[in-house]
Amino acid sequence: MSAVYNTDWDGLIDIIAYGLGQVGKRFIRLFDKRFNVRWIVDNGERCSEEYCGIPVISLEQMMLKRKEEKIIVFASRSAFFSIRNDLIEKGLKENKDFCKLDDFIRDWYWQFEEKNCLREVHMAVNTNCTFQCKYCNMFMPYYKQPICYNAQDVAKDLSLFFERIDYVFSFAFLGGEPFLNQELEIMIEILFENYREKVGQIEIITNGSLIPEKRVLETLKKCKVMIRISDYTKRIPYIDRMNELCSILDSYGICYSVEESLQWTDFCFPECTDKIEISNVRSHMLSCAPEFHGLNDGKFYYCHVSWSAEKAGIFKLKGSDFIRLEDIDNNKKACRKIVEYADGNMECGYVSLCEKCMGCGMDNNKFVLAGEQISR
């Protein structure tokens, strides 16, 4: 539901960023370009350090230092609830003194700047991969015929999308393994040259098993792309290759992160050993609530997993499971529908695949080992 901010949120400059976990590390520096982030609050060991030149302090220190600054909470959905309780215990009020990052992106920009903004959008550029992960949440091993998009396909989707959306904090190309796509660097150039003012950070999500060619590395550097390496080396023996990639990226001055603690759940779809029961599908979907959305084939998807299920030929989506971008007039009010949709406000209340997919929300505790390979 949309938050409505008091007028004292208007003209916001000074903010306090709460949280220096994975979300904070990815997004705070993007906010630092637009706002003056006075402090970062973190109750871990990082207190009294600095992050990107911003002092990191504890909640107690913040309570002593804070004047009128608004607090933006940079945290995952599950972490937000306990942070919210801590802040409320200190007498602070949600949407008056503090708010969640996603709510701020959705509502503050609309209320005070009439901008349609999204936090994170993913575009798959191919579905072939160097691994065969048993629990791949994009169902890559189920594709009988892998898909590979070309730069023209991507340019068309980007144009449809950015005619309607004012700003995306993070835009990621992924696969499959995106470094298998021979036109990846052209796609990055198109995004950077045409839409750099509308994207906070261009990202590539890779498993780190391939070394890109020189021409690709040069484009990554020029377009300031962040490489997010999903580390499956605990399950798959490719640590030397991944380390080689990291040193090549270092030598080019390309930023990257290695995400080691990936936690996967068994979606129990399309194969299921246990009988699954989903009594309230909308609550189930909102518990999963993907923090990123999908853009492919001229359509915007609340759940990019559902796009892939259909492409892999294992599920047939309904018309309400996505927004066909050319059906939305490109005026601000009409395009607001995309932002609302990304918040889970869709015609029939949920994505139809949620009836069969256990997803990765708090109601699914079937944890599995990330990167476990299909035995041949």
Residues in contact with ligand SF4 by CB under 6 A are: 285, 288, 290, 303, 305-306, 351, 353-354, 357, 359
CB of 330 to ligand SF4, least distance (A): 27
CB of 356 to ligand SF4, least distance (A): 8
Residue of this chain nearest to ligand SF4 (CB atom): 359
For residue 257, the tally of other CB atoms under 10 A from its CB is 15
Residue 265, classed as helix, strand or coil, is strand
Q: Which is nearer to ligand SF4, 42 or 120 (CB)?
A: 120
Q: What CA–CA distance (Å, rounded) separates 192 from 78?
A: 33
Amino acid in the structure at residue 175: G
Q: Which is nearer to ligand SF4, 188 or 353 (CB)?
A: 353
Q: What CA–CA distance (Å, rounded) separates 321 from 313?
A: 16
Q: Which is nearer to ligand SF4, 193 or 274 (CB)?
A: 274
Contact 227, 254 (CB under 8 A): yes
The vertex-102 CA angle with 327 and 46, nearest 5°, equals 150
Contact 105, 166 (CB under 8 A): no
CB of 302 to ligand SF4, least distance (A): 7
CB of 286 to ligand SF4, least distance (A): 9
CB of 305 to ligand SF4, least distance (A): 4
Q: Which is nearer to ligand SF4, 18 or 301 (CB)?
A: 301
Q: Which is nearer to ligand SF4, 295 or 351 (CB)?
A: 351
Pairing of strands 367-368, 322-324: unpaired
Q: What CA–CA distance (Å, rounded) separates 204 from 187?
A: 11
CB of 284 to ligand SF4, least distance (A): 6
The two three-digit tokens of residue 358, written as one number: 């256990």
Q: What CA–CA distance (Å, rounded) separates 91 from 313?
A: 52
Residue 51, classed as helix, strand or coil, is strand
Distance of CA 129 to the CA centre of its chain: 20
Q: What CA–CA distance (Å, rounded) separates 299 from 293?
A: 11
Dihedral over Cα of 27, 23, 192, 298: its sign:
negative
Q: Which is nearer to ligand SF4, 19 or 290 (CB)?
A: 290
CB of 151 to ligand SF4, least distance (A): 28
Q: What CA–CA distance (Å, rounded) separates 227 from 224?
A: 10
Contact 62, 41 (CB under 8 A): yes
Q: Which is nearer to ligand SF4, 17 or 357 (CB)?
A: 357
Q: Which is nearer to ligand SF4, 256 or 307 (CB)?
A: 307
CB of 343 to ligand SF4, least distance (A): 13
Task: Tokens 């029961």: give the residue.
Answer: 277
CB of 47 to ligand SF4, least distance (A): 35
Q: Which is nearer to ligand SF4, 220 or 268 (CB)?
A: 268
The two three-digit tokens of residue 352, written as one number: 């139809």
Dihedral over Cα of 15, 19, 25, 27: its sign:
negative
CB of 257 to ligand SF4, least distance (A): 23
Q: Which is nearer to ligand SF4, 23 or 285 (CB)?
A: 285
For residue 219, the tally of other CB atoms under 10 A from its CB is 20
